[in-house]
Amino acid sequence: MLQFIIRRLAGAVVTLFLIGAVTFFLFVAAPSDYASLACGRDCSPERLDAIRHALGLNEPIFKQFWEFMSGIVVGRDFPDGHCAAPCLGQSFYSGDFVWDTIMDRFPLTLSLTVGAMTVFLIVGIGAGMLAAYRRGSLVDKIATGSSMVLSSFQIYFLGPIVLTILVYSTGWMEDPKYVPFTEDPVGWLVGLSIPMVVMATIFTAQYTRMARASMIEQLAEEHVRTARAKGMSKKFVFFRYAWRGSLIPIVTVLGIDISALLGGGVVTELTFSLQGIGRLAVDGAINKDLPLTMGVMLFGAFFILLLNILVDIVYAWIDPRVRLS
Amino acid sequence: MTTLTKTEDAPAPTGPESFLSVRDLRVQFSTEDGIVKAVDGLSFDVERGKTLGIVGESGSGKSVTNLTILGLHNPRTSHIDGEILLDGKELVTAPEKELEQLRGNKMAMIFQDPLTALSPYYTVGRQLSEPFMKHRGASKKEAKDRAIQMLEKVGIPQPKVRFDDYPHQFSGGMRQRAMIAMALMCDPDLLIADEPTTALDVTVQAQILDLLKDLQQEFGSAIIFITHDLGVISNMADDLLVMYAGRAVERGSVKEVLRTPQHPYTWGLLSSMPRLDGDIHETLSPIPGSPPSLLNPPTGCRFHPRCAFTGEVTGTLCSDTRPPLADGRAAACHLTAQQKQSIFIDKIQPRLR
């Protein structure tokens, strides 16, 4: 198992490097550069050259790339200070260190992810399992019907409706805002409750459907019937035999969802006027801000790879057949 | 009032009725296309220590019947009529809780494909122990001892080590042995084996059959053995029930049915069986046509659209009247006893030899 994890981690490092390379060279190959953009319309060649020099853009491409990538491991020195590892460079646009900017925004993204996930895992999977257990009952019909409707909603649709009702027309709540958890846990929860609930609602609907379908599929498995034939009760069979297999598709999708959420949700952040990782990615692309784009890209890719490894470990825990191969 | 807890040493109750008695069983499934009459008026008996073989094509209702005996049909989509008496206890109307007490305890089932019928997620030992702990109230330790003892009995080498293995670490034959051990954990009085050897290769098949016979002698269980392999059945069963399209078409002792079959469907089954000592140029004679849809089964005798001998029966008897199946040695066919005998001797027997 340990060997497996080490092998996967090494693979992840290589993948991250490749993602970095692809992002970097695609960006450089794109037909616009930040220096001429920053220089403005009446740009003298001297001024352009000065900007290029200041940003390190007149260095050879490969050297630029190498400096960026090695900076992640050992840190870098810039004219206005040392950028400690993991250094993701200095934003062209704001001049801030990208790592600091990301760390500034990440707590919000992490809060939204954790908050929404707690709700949709418990409510979504719970409702889906209950619906499968009582298949055909009223509970099942309500769960299936409402999740069908809710999962076809989008955050930019549901979000403004909830904002209009709770904030703009009644004034019951304030605009969503981020308060650090360590400063004020209650304020943290209240400030982010609307986006958390809206995100959770849509995910809950999807997880309900998925858990129900997965459970029903497992209940039709032959080994589940064998367990019934041994005289084990419906409940025992449901929670012991069917439940375990039904986790596999859920864990797969959950891994993808968590890494996507941690990589930042542009739509959610724009809908609720919040400053998270998703916005950074958009800013980086719009401003042709190479270090920022690289930083956010690698940060997101890191979570995707991390969650992939975690999901594989969970697979091995669920299914002994995976463990041995 | 039958007690659910078993007394192991008590002699088998000797009553006029058999240990398992199925009377006029009807099983219908509602599907999107309509009602499937999977089993239609089936009756049979099994005695303790005896083996009843049930043969028939896929979809003839063999497996459905036996799942119904265990009460493992889907209650939402199926409708059951008739009587199933296990040791005098009516099962069709019994509440789920009571069936749970009987399953795996008094009646157990061996499934066809041991790879899919054992859970991949838990060790063989754990899966074996569960019913013993539930039905006998045994501790984990006692259940483990019992499981190891049973694994040894079914011929699994190093049962103590194998106890902690997962099913995928077993070979096909070993999985089926484990499956049998699991069914026997609580000394069931009725053992239903649903094509237990179909997924296995022939040498392993023979071992499993021998094992089942030995275990039956030891435990005195009644066995229902479902198969479509007539070779296997002649080896295993005392009595034979031939099913076609949800009905029993012929019954009798194995010897009688296989030596002097009386029903045209049984003739067809026997003629379509390849022989080891047969001439390789000799063609098999399959039954013409295909099994009927049970959504809309044929009227009268369900076999009549495929039957070559309807011409011998006067009028339209075959297509409008259901032929009765008498008790004992009998075939549900409108041909007279003489006709059956003469057709068999003239037309069928030469093909079988």
Same domain? A42 vs A138:
no
Residue of A216, A222, A226 for testing the chain B interface, max B β-carbons within 10 Å: A226
Beta-carbon contacts of residue A170 (< 8 Å; ≥ 6 apart):
none
Beta-carbon contacts of residue B162 (< 8 Å; ≥ 6 apart):
B124, B125, B151, B156, B170, B174
Q: A309 in a domain, yes or no?
A: no
Which contacts (CB < 8 Å, 24+ apart) does range A67-76 have? A68/A20, A68/A24, A68/A291, A68/A294, A69/A17, A69/A20, A69/A21, A72/A298
Q: Which pLDDT score, from 0 to 100, does residue A100 have?
A: 93
Please report residues of A whose CB lies closer than 8 A to that of B131. Answer: 230-232
**Other C-beta atoms lying within 10 Å of the C-beta of residue A325:** 6
Distance CA A20, CA A18 (A): 5
Q: Collapsing DSSP states into helix, strand and coil, what is residue B87?
A: coil
- What pLDDT band is residue A324 in, cutting at 50, 70 and 90? low
Q: Which pLDDT score, from 0 to 100, does residue B149 have?
A: 92
Please report residues of A whose CB lies closer than 8 A to that of B70. Answer: 229
The DSSP-derived string for A226-270 is HHHHTT--HHHIIIIIIHHHHHHHHHHHHHHHHHHHHT--HHHHH
Same domain? A137 vs A281:
yes
Is residue A95 exposed (0-12), middle (13-18) or buried (19+ Cβ within 10 Å)? Answer: exposed
- Residue in B6, B7, B8, B5 with CA at minimum distance from that of residue B218: B8
Distance CA B131, CA B139 (A): 11
A163-220 pLDDT, tens per residue? 999 999 998 988 898 989 889 999 999 999 999 999 999 999 999 999 999 999 999 9
Same domain? A118 vs A250:
yes
DSSP character for B297? P
Q: Which pLDDT score, from 0 to 100, does residue B353 have?
A: 61
Q: Which pLDDT score, from 0 to 100, does residue A171 have?
A: 86
Q: A212 in a domain, yes or no?
A: yes
Q: Are the CB atoms for B97 and B40 separated by under 8 Å?
A: no
Q: Are the CB atoms for B151 and B164 separated by under 8 Å?
A: no
Q: Which residue type, as a one-letter code, is found at position B168?
A: H
Per-residue pLDDT of chain B (353 residues; tens, 9 = 90+): 444 444 444 444 444 468 999 999 999 998 888 899 999 999 999 999 999 999 988 888 888 999 999 999 888 889 999 999 999 899 999 999 999 999 999 999 999 888 899 999 999 999 999 999 999 999 999 999 999 999 998 889 999 999 999 999 999 889 999 999 999 899 899 999 998 888 778 888 888 888 889 889 888 889 999 988 888 888 889 999 999 999 999 999 999 999 889 999 999 888 887 777 767 777 777 888 888 888 888 998 999 999 888 888 878 888 888 898 888 898 999 988 888 888 888 888 877 76
Q: Which pLDDT score, from 0 to 100, does residue B7 have?
A: 41
Beta-carbon contacts of residue B247 (< 8 Å; ≥ 6 apart):
B39, B40, B41, B42, B61, B302, B325, B332
A216-258 pLDDT, tens per residue? 999 999 999 999 999 999 999 999 999 999 999 999 999 999 9
C-alpha distances out from residue B306 to A113, B298, B302, B340, Å: 65, 10, 9, 17
- What pLDDT band is residue A325 in, cutting at 50, 70 and 90? low
Beta-carbon contacts of residue B189 (< 8 Å; ≥ 6 apart):
B6, B19, B48, B87, B106, B107, B221, B222
Same domain? A13 vs A93:
yes
Query: Cβ separation of B121 and A245 shorter than 8 Å?
Result: yes
Query: Cβ separation of B182 and A244 shorter than 8 Å?
Result: no
C-alpha distances out from residue B227 to A152, B55, B232, Å: 49, 5, 8
Q: A321 in a domain, yes or no?
A: no
Q: Which pLDDT score, from 0 to 100, does residue B1 have?
A: 42
Same domain? A133 vs A178:
yes
Question: How close does chain B come to A212, measured CA to CA in Å?
Answer: 17
* First-to-final CA distance of chain A: 10
Alpha helices in B278-348 (DSSP H): 317-320, 337-343
Q: A116 in a domain, yes or no?
A: yes
Same domain? A131 vs A255:
yes
**Which pTM does this prediction carry?**
0.82
Task: Supply B101's token pair.
Answer: 């007490």
Query: Cβ separation of B111 and A226 shorter than 8 Å?
Result: yes
Task: Supply B146's token pair.
Answer: 């019992």
Same domain? A93 vs A107:
no
Same domain? A133 vs A236:
yes
Q: Which pLDDT score, from 0 to 100, does residue B17 have?
A: 62
- What pLDDT band is residue A285 in, cutting at 50, 70 and 90? confident
Q: Collapsing DSSP states into helix, strand and coil, what is residue A222?
A: helix
Same domain? A166 vs A180:
yes
Same domain? A89 vs A107:
no
Name the residue of chain A whose CA is nearest to B194's CA.
A226
A28-46 pLDDT, tens per residue? 887 767 787 777 778 888 8
B286-299 pLDDT, tens per residue? 888 888 888 888 99
Query: Cβ separation of A226 and B102 shorter than 8 Å?
Result: no
Characterize the bridge pairing of strands B107-110 and B20-31: unpaired
Give the ipTM of the model, two decimals please: 0.84
Which contacts (CB < 8 Å, 24+ apart) does range B261-265 have? B261/B331, B261/B344, B261/B348, B262/B330, B262/B331, B262/B333, B262/B340, B262/B344, B263/B303, B263/B331, B263/B332, B263/B333, B264/B303, B264/B307, B264/B308, B264/B309, B264/B333, B264/B335, B265/B303, B265/B306, B265/B307
Residue of A223, A232, A244 for testing the chain B interface, max B β-carbons within 10 Å: A223
Residue of B68, B121, B136, B194 for testing the chain A interface, max A β-carbons within 10 Å: B121
Query: Cβ separation of A227 and B130 shorter than 8 Å?
Result: yes
Q: Looking at residues A157-161, what average pLDDT do you find?
A: 92
Q: Which residue type, as a one-letter code, is found at position B12?
A: A
Question: How close does chain B come to A324, measured CA to CA in Å?
Answer: 10
Distance CA A217, CA A240 (A): 15
- State the CATH number of the domain containing residue A286: 1.10.3720.10
Distance CA B114, CA B183 (A): 12
- Residue at which a domain ends, from A75, A98, A121: A98
Q: A302 in a domain, yes or no?
A: no
Q: Are the CB atoms for A200 and A123 separated by under 8 Å?
A: yes
Task: Supply A238's token pair.
Answer: 């449901």
Distance CA A238, CA A242 (A): 5
Distance CA B311, CA A281 (A): 83
What is the residue range of A64's domain? 2-98
Q: A311 in a domain, yes or no?
A: no
Counting the structural domains of chain A, the total is: 2
Distance CA B19, CA B262 (A): 27
Q: Are the CB atoms for B92 and B82 separated by under 8 Å?
A: yes
**Other C-beta atoms lying within 10 Å of the C-beta of residue A167:** 15
Q: A320 in a domain, yes or no?
A: no
Question: How close does chain A come to B143, measured CA to CA in Å?
Answer: 14
Q: Name the CA dihedral angle for A219, A225, A229, A230, rounded to a multiple of 10 degrees.
A: -70
Residue ranges with strand state E in B111-167 = none
Specify the DSSP element, H or E, that contains B126: helix B124-136
Specify the DSSP element, H or E, that contains B60: none
Q: A32 in a domain, yes or no?
A: yes
- Residue at which a domain ends, from A63, A98, A133: A98
C-alpha distances out from residue B352 to B59, B227, B288, B336, B344, Å: 25, 20, 17, 22, 10
